[in-house]
Chain A
Amino acid sequence: MNIIVCIKQVPDTTDVKIDPKTGTLIRDGVPSIVNPDDKHAVEEALRLKEKFGGKVTALCMGPPQADDALREVSAMGVDDLILLSDRAFAGADTWATSYALGMAIGKIEYDLVICGREAIDGDTAQIGPQLAGCLDIPQITYVKNVEMGDGKILCERALEDGYEKIEASLPALITVISDLNKPRYPSVGGIVEAYREKEVKVWNAEFIGADQELLGLKGSPTEVRKTFAPEPKGDGEILQGSTDEMAKQLVTKLVDKNILR
């Protein structure tokens, strides 16, 4: 069982601030972390490896600093580390990112690709599905439980009001949510190994055989017109009176706003 986990290095948005003038993230001094969903992806890959044997490879597209993200998942137990890094990838939207990841994965033998559901900075949740498209393999998104056997994967796919059970043949791609498992902590020995013994392979655009026209800004169909921080919502209104009166006021207001008819 060879598993590829796609991990993204993201700013720790729990304490990220937005520059009110430019509308962009202030990244200075904000620590970088492994995207939280991706740690669940790593955990599941490690559990499947513990059960079925094989190898777990982490793949990350990003600048040279993303090396740290790969070493962190190495300390959790990931075997092989690949950093996709090249100026040609800069400015990629999700489409160009998926293409690059797909070309890199094409160079590796695999049975399963695991992505996080979404990245906490980009927030699109598009990479997983697009990547499955690029690789032309079945996909199961929002996975909250995984079973495997007979060259098949059987997942519970979370919905707002329940879940679906979906089976797919391997190779396949799944995107996972945090309910799936509790990621393990890196071990002290793993940390030592990650920095003293492990190698992060750096792959560039040429190595993965990517078409330059489809990479980075050039390969990105999305055009960013404007970024802005949403206006603060303003104060809420607190209704007064007895429960009955407040309920009546509420209904009137909802009807006025065309929310109720």
Chain B
Amino acid sequence: MEFGLNKEQEMMRNTIREFALNEIEPIAAEIDENATFPVDTVKKLGELGFMGMTVAKEYGGAGMDDVSYAIAVEEISRVCASHGVTVSVNNSLVCWPINKYGTEEQKQKYLIPLARGQKLGCFGLTEPNAGTDASGQATIAEKKGDKWVINGSKIFITNGANADVAVIFAMTDKSKGTRGISAFIIENTFPGFSLGTIEKKMGIRGSCTAELVFENMEVPEENMLGKEGRGFGIAMSTLDGGRIGIAAQALGIAQAAMDASVQYAKEREQFRKPLAKFQAIQWFLADMATEIDAARMLVYKAAFDKWQKKPYTVSAAMAKLFASDICMNATRNAIQIHGGYGYIKDYAVERFYRDAKITEIYEGTSEVQKMVISGALLK
């Protein structure tokens, strides 16, 4: 059994850590405050190959392993969770399904620029009335000649307003239930595509969350992703991998909360002693460290399973369930350790606390992860 990283993974971690500290951290508080999408740093991440890490070289990626990918999202999220989810969505929810289910033409046309970071992607599954129950798709696609005409809307779509390309889902045959759902690759320039509401959020405010509106949107038939009627399966398998990215995001936020807490506990004095001398504070830190280490093992294990082509639906669900939960603990207690200062925006833990919550919600709520885990036990 081997717990260490290999040389390649180590160099990757050092590189992204340095990039995150030098290029992302300086703008993290500002993009949170102003809710601006960080176009420049996302472009730089793309140029360095972080937007399509596990995609093969021939399709514009780097051919990296999934553990390295998880580490990259972790390290990025350690300084800024908004950047973390931007990267995670493009890698896991856009490049991955096109790579897995796309035709050669689709890969040439869409995967290469997405993996190189020349184009940004988003993933549109959720609708006003189809959240946890994603099978309730109200978006309809009708075949007209050699085109699909799509009507409906998608809400809460990460990267939405900045994406050039989207993988979306729509009903092609309502009578067949989930077997009537199909996946499509669309471009933001397709006639009938528009942006709706841009959400104002509690956390990950530097990530753009937008509504995609389709009004008689014309999609060429060759843009169907995978076979007709297989969209639901494509969505679910895509989210399995996405959960590793979100689990890594949660892990990174938790680590950041602990790092800040350790430093603060050493510096801040009360009763003529540093806080670190009080057992109550020591115990907070011990719990954080233990939970973070446990989460890291689950996250890397899920990524490892995916890399090794083993089943990873359950390990990814466990990683996300646990990492998001301990992320909430770590960020909450980080504020407690900081006292009143932790509640003030001058201290990064205030942002970490707000950013943490989303990891329990998107790409399947914690309740959904429990359904997945118990479902596998009880089948």
A residues near B (Cβ < 8 Å) are 68, 71-72, 75, 185-192, 194-196
Contact = CB atoms under 8 A, between A and B. Distances in A.
A185 B47 CA distance: 10
B7 A188 contact: no
Q: Among B11, B57, B61, B62, which residue has the most Cβ atoms of chain A within 10 A? A: B11
Interface centre among A187, A188, A192 (most CB of B within 10 A): A188
Nearest to B44: A185
Contact of A192 (B18, B47, B62): B62
B12 A188 contact: yes
A72 B11 contact: yes
Nearest to A72: B11
B48 A192 contact: no
A192 B7 contact: no
A83 to B, nearest CB: 15
Given A187-B48, A187-B49, A192 B15 contact: no
Contacts of B11: 68, 71-72, 75, 186, 191, 194-195
Contacts of A190: 49
A191 B18 contact: no
B232 interface: no
B8 interface: yes
Contacts of B8: 191-192, 194-196
A199 to B, nearest CB: 15
B15 A185 contact: yes
A66 to B, nearest CB: 13
A186 B63 contact: no
B19 A188 contact: no
Most chain B CB within 10 A, of A186, A187, A195, is at: A186
Contacts of B68: 188
A189 B57 contact: yes
B110 interface: no
Given A195-B7, A196-B8, 6 more contacts: A185-B15, A186-B15, A187-B48, A188-B68, A189-B63, A191-B12
Interface in B46-62: 47-50, 53, 57, 61-62
A192 B19 contact: no
Contacts of B50: 188
A196 B12 CA distance: 14
Given A191-B11, A195-B8, A185 B48 contact: yes
B319 interface: no
B302 interface: no
Contact of A191 (B15, B19, B61): B15
A72 B8 CA distance: 10
| Max chain B C-beta neighbours (<10 A), residue from A189, A190, A194 | A189
User: Chain A binding site: helix, strand, loop or mixed by DSSP?
Assistant: helix
Nearest to B6: A195
Interface in B6-51: 7-8, 11-12, 15, 18-19, 47-50
Contacts of B53: 188
7 contacts: A72-B11, A185-B48, A187-B48, A189-B62, A191-B11, A191-B12, A192-B57
Contacts of A186: 11, 15, 48
A185 B12 contact: no
B140 interface: no
Contacts of B18: 185
Nearest to B65: A192
B7 A71 contact: yes
A85 B12 CA distance: 26
Nearest to B10: A68
Interface in B152-188: none
Contacts of A187: 47-49, 62
Contacts of A195: 7-8, 11
Contacts of B61: 189
A72 to B, nearest CB: 6
B85 interface: no
A192 B62 CA distance: 7
B64 interface: yes
A188 B57 CA distance: 11
A16 B337 CA distance: 30
Contacts of B47: 187
Contacts of A71: 7, 11
Interface in B105-159: none
Nearest to A188: B49
A203 to B, nearest CB: 22
A191 B15 CA distance: 9
A31 to B, nearest CB: 8
Nearest to B52: A188
Nearest to A184: B48
Nearest to B47: A187
Given A185-B19, A188-B12, A68 B49 contact: no
A191 B62 CA distance: 9
Nearest to B50: A188
Nearest to A182: B22
B26 to A, nearest CB: 14
